[in-house]
Amino acid sequence: MTAVDLATGTTRRRQSTAPAIGLIMGSMLSVQVGAAASTRLFDDIGPAGTAWLRGCWAALAFLLIARPSPRWLRAQSRHDLLGAVGLGVVSAAMSIAFFESIARIPLATAVALEFLGPLSLAVLRRTGRWGLLWPALALAGVLALTRPWRGDIDLVGVALALVAAAGWAGYIVLTQRVGDSFSGVKGLAIAMPVSAVAAALVGAPQAVPNLTWAIVAQAAWLALLLPVLPFAMELLALRRLTVAAFGTLMCLEPAFALAVGATVLHQTPHPLQIAGVAFVVAAGIGAQRSGRR
């Protein structure tokens, strides 16, 4: 193979993956803008109420997209259906915990703490001794973000972000299982309605007393930003990228949260917190590159 052939092949690979990278960047931006915009509803219907109402619209969207029939549902195995139900319950817990956390601590801090969930999974799948470096780097990042020596960090917000982190880890495991069991988005057409019902236990009491048509309409476009558009973009991206490349790019999520928090919510980070986000991102990229499915 000549140098020209190698150069041509490299160029083609870059061209084929460039749209996928753009889709992932768009997905992360949509997620963080959606989360930041959701905070405007917190005073009216509460964080859990916002998560529930947004989840109701997302459930409706995936039902309209997938259109699962009763006959199709009866044809699925109990094991696969339980996986989808589990995904729905975990998604509800993750969403409520995350929204409750960003009501108390800055968006970038909450996302970086939440990212410890997928980072832990990547570390558990590590190969080689370098894998032991990433937890230490992530811990340094968390300390820089929370600055516990100052004594002014909201510990409830931190605890809720860590609950969301555990939820994100479970979400990844269950999404992988549901993705292997169902074609297209049919698994989500089961999981998202379950998620809406589960979130109603905490979210509905917060939201229902103050619901208006204007709030319901706002929740509709917030559901479009998070999770409908991000899932669609990530699904398209995964057709062009390996799981390892996808996971490495998703490690930039805390950096997106930092930028959106500063521009949309006017949350000016301390220089040490910026360094903390950088540490968490670096730990995530390192862990993903040394991990395997």
The DSSP string of 36-92 is: HHHGGGHHHH-HHHHHHHHHHHHHHHHHHHH---HHHHHHS-HHHHHHHHHHHHHHH
Residue 123 has pLDDT above 80, yes or no: no
Tens of pLDDT along 3-47? 434 444 444 444 457 788 888 899 999 999 999 999 999 999 999
**Which of 119-123, 194-198, 203-207 comes out lowest in average pLDDT?**
119-123
User: What's the pTM?
Assistant: 0.87
Tens of pLDDT along 258-267? 999 999 999 9
What gap in Å lies between CA 111 and CA 90, rounded to an integer? 17
